Every structure is written in C-alpha cells, then in structure tokens.
Amino acid sequence: MLEIFQYDFMQKAFITGILIAIITPCIGVVVVLKRLSMIGDSLSHNSLAGVAAGLAFGLNPILGAVLFSIAAAFGIDRVRKSFPRYSEIAIAVIMSTGIGLAGILSGFVKNSANFNSFLFGSIVAISDFELYLVIGLSAIVILAVIFLFKELFYITFDEEAARLAGIPIKSINFVFTLLTAVTISVSARTVGTLVISSLMVLPVATAMQIAKSYKQTVVFAVIFALIFTLSGLSISYYADFKPGGTIVLVGILTLICVLIYKNVLSKAIVKRAIRCHNHN
C-alpha cells in the first residue's frame, strides 16, 4: 500500500475529500448557472459566525455552522426578492452580516487555534462524527441531485416556464437552498471557509469550457473536482503544503490550462478555415 494511506487520518481525509468533491460541484452547477457564484463565500462566512457562536457558548460548532448557514441562505433568498436581477446585492448584504457576526462572536472564543482550523479547514483532522456527517449528507445530496435532475435544470434555465410546466418550484427551491446551506457549512469544516467557494465554482467553470450539454457540465464538474481534490491532497501530503489551498491552486492551474487549450484550438480551426477558403 502506498505510504500515504498508512495513516488513519489520511484515509479519512481521502474519503471525506472524495465525497465533498462529488457533492459541491453538483450544487455548484446550479449555483453558478443561477449567477449566484459568490453564495459559497457568503454562506461560509455565516457558518464561520455559527462556529464562533458554538465555540463561545459551548454548543457543537458544526451544529452552529449549519444553523447559521441555513438562516443565511434563506436570508439571501428573501433579500433577492427585493432586488430582482441583482442577486449579488443580497449575497453581499448577507456576507457582511456573517463577517460582522463572526468578528464579534470570535472575540468570545477562548481557544483560537480551534477557530483557525475552521477558517482554513482541517481535512487531515476529521473526527469520526464529522466523517459520518459527511457520508450521510453526501448520500442525501447525491440522491436529491439525481432525482431532481430535470427539475433543477428547468428551474435554473427558466424559472417562469418551469412553473408553467407544473414543477413545484417553491418546494424544490426550498430543498435546494437547504442542501446548499448544509453542504457549504459541512464542507467548510473540512476544506475551510476560505476555499469552499472556489471548490464550488472552479470545477463548474472548467467543465463549462468543454461541456456540450447540461448533463456533461455536471459530470465533468464532478470529475474535475475529484481530480483537484485527489491531486491536491497528495501534493499537500508529500510537499507538506496546506491541503485546502493546494486543492484550490490545482483547480486554478487546470482552468488556466483548459482556457489556453481552447484558445489554441479555436485559433487552429480559424486558421484551417482561412487556408481552405484561400485554396478555393
């Protein structure tokens, strides 16, 4: 067996990493296509406030994170209604609320090392409880994304038409908001508040560059997220980097490579077309 898998903590890190790499882009596709890319940042800052509240008042910090994140997600939905077509206002308003609360509440936290581990994530220090939490949540998210695939697609593409087609958009939006909030708060614990947003957006952005359909976008996004997470984790282990940051940087590098590849490819096509044209 590879040396990297000898340690219990690395095994747990890989299992958690794989599960989170599967569920975050599933949520991320809908989030990005709804033009809500920054929602991850907003919710994760609120879950940080929840962590601070938990640590300060002796609650389970993950429970605090989940509760704050859910409240924030529905807060965003509410504020969005007042600014139709300007979702980023709602996201910014709720993000500021989270940062403000996190700032004040963290002042009451005695053990700041613990708080830092939430800020940057601690995928290599996952407890058994957290592992089971991630497994349970992943099962729910994967089932929801499979069984609500066509509904989520239609709502994302054209909410008005989806309603006319008979899709119960209120209930499905409610479920999706809930799943987003829980996914972000739980994954924030493992990859860190500061990188969760990139893990939602980067694989989707990369997939959108090459996908030829919505279905492909989802599948490619999951594949990219798995590549980022697995290679990021391995690199961080051998090079002794922080895992969260390494995963994100691998993602950025991949996106840049795909963009360059596409650029070169399209230029080559244009050149060939011009050559053919001149021949005729």
Partner 1 sequence: MKQIIEVNNLNFGYNDSLILKDISFSVDKGDFLGLIGANGSGKSTLVKLLLKILTPLSGEIMLLGENISRFKQWDKIGYVSQKANSFNSSFPATVEEIVTANLFSKIGLFKLPKKHHKEQVYHALELVGMQDYGKKLIGNLSGGQQQRVFIARVLVSEPEIMFLDEPTVGIDAKSEEAVYCLLARLNQELGLTIIMVTHDISAITIHANKLICLGENGLFIHDPKEGITAAFASELYGYGVNLHSHDCKNCLREVTKC
| Total residues binding partner 1 (CB under 8 A) | 28
CB of 18 to partner 1, least distance (A): 25
Question: CB-wise, 186 or 218, nearer to partner 1?
Answer: 218
100, 103, 136, 168: which one binds partner 1 (CB under 8 A): 168
151, 176, 202, 229: which one binds partner 1 (CB under 8 A): 151
The whole-angstrom separation of Cα 132 and Cα 153 is 29
Decide if residue 271 touches partner 1 (CB under 8 A): no
Decide if residue 258 touches partner 1 (CB under 8 A): no
Question: CB-wise, 125 or 259, nearer to partner 1?
Answer: 259
4, 214, 234, 249: which one binds partner 1 (CB under 8 A): 214
Decide if residue 273 touches partner 1 (CB under 8 A): no
Question: CB-wise, 43 or 167, nearer to partner 1?
Answer: 167
Neighbours of 148 (CB within 10 A): 17
Question: CB-wise, 3 or 160, nearer to partner 1?
Answer: 160
The whole-angstrom separation of Cα 200 and Cα 204 is 7
Name the burial class of residue 263, with classes exposed (0-12), middle (13-18) and buried (19+) by CB atoms within 10 angstroms of its CB: exposed
The whole-angstrom separation of Cα 3 and Cα 10 is 10
217, 236, 246, 254: which one binds partner 1 (CB under 8 A): 217
The whole-angstrom separation of Cα 196 and Cα 180 is 12
Name the burial class of residue 116, with classes exposed (0-12), middle (13-18) and buried (19+) by CB atoms within 10 angstroms of its CB: exposed
Q: Which stretch binds partner 1 (CB under 8 A): 16-24, 49-57, 180-188, 209-217?
A: 209-217
33, 131, 142, 235: which one binds partner 1 (CB under 8 A): 33
In the complex, the residues that contact partner 1 under the rule CB under 8 A are 33, 35, 147-151, 153-154, 157-158, 160-168, 208, 211-217
